[in-house]
Amino acid sequence: MGCDGGTIPKRDELVRTKKKPEQKDKDSELSYRWRHCNITQQPLQKPIVACHLGRLYSKLSVIEALLDRSQLPETARHIRNLKDIKELKLTPNPAFQDGAEKGDGYVDRQSAPYICPVIGLEMNGKFKFSFIWGCGCVMSERSLKEIKTKVCHKCQKPFAEEDVVILNAADEDLNLMQTRMEARQARLRLEKKVKKTAIKQEIEEEGSDVAKTEEIKNVPLKTEPLDKPSVSKQATKTLKGGQGDKRPSDSKIENPDFKKAKGSYSVAKDPQATEVFKSLFTTSQKAQDQTRAHWITYNPFYN
């Protein structure tokens, strides 16, 4: 069997044992999950989005996968449209230095590009992070537990407990996110149904108002005769029989100015005209007493 020459065999060389499965580096695995898209397995690119289950994606990758659903992995089949994802409002880490990894250099897996805006924890997978579905703000779970409130710490918008989504949830947290997703979708469907019902009722009310207006327009107006003044029987007989005081038909009221337009009118006979005004016309007494015609002008050679 050998063992000559001073060689000392080890136990694993002599005894065959079952090989243990290779263990993954937990830090590297967490760093990969928090920095890579769940669809394309490529590094996350802004804008970064998350689904109801808390998985991270690049928005461009989600759009491309929705256009060609064959690219969607089994873990993202629940995404049917862009309403099933939410764009995240992340807080950048000022101490993070992004650069190419060198083969002989140390890579700090604990450093993360984003932090909690409340207590400053780095989003590297060591601590639980959550986001609010209504506004998309991301913060650590510790900040939500330490500062219990019903408004967002970052944008001050109100939210409910069901709106909190845990990022990269696993095991029990994943089941909880599944339950919250179903409850949230049921609530959205109910709100949509109520909104449609309200719009339908409003349209029906407007239609009934229009119909009433048309009916009012089509109703014929009844014109009642005005009350005639009461006339006594004696007056009626007088009007019909021609009795009583009645003006003759030939004595009509005429305008005195119309008399001047008639051919029988003469200014010389008008009692209201002055003598100066009458002298302007040939019919005046002064014009008739002249020895020469009115058309002869004065000329010293002829007089």
What is the domain extent for residue 35? Answer: 26-96+108-169
| 251 in a structural domain | no
Half-sphere CA count of 151, side-chain side, radius 13 A: 5
Three-state secondary structure along 16-41? CCCCCCCCCCHHHHHHHHHHECCCCC
User: What's the whole-model pTM score?
Assistant: 0.56
- Contact between 87 and 59 under an 8 Å Cβ cutoff? The reply is yes
| 18 in a structural domain | no
Q: Which range, of 180-184, 247-251, 289-293, averages the lowest pLDDT?
A: 247-251
Arithmetic mean of pLDDT over the chain: 77
pLDDT digits over 39-58, tens only? 888 988 989 999 988 899 99
| 238 in a structural domain | no
| 283 in a structural domain | no
| 148 in a structural domain | yes
Structural domain count, the chain: 1
More confident residue, 70 or 285: 70
Q: Any idea what the CATH number is for the domain that residue 122 is in?
A: 3.30.40.10
| Residues paired with residue 137 on neighbouring β-strands, in sequence order | 89
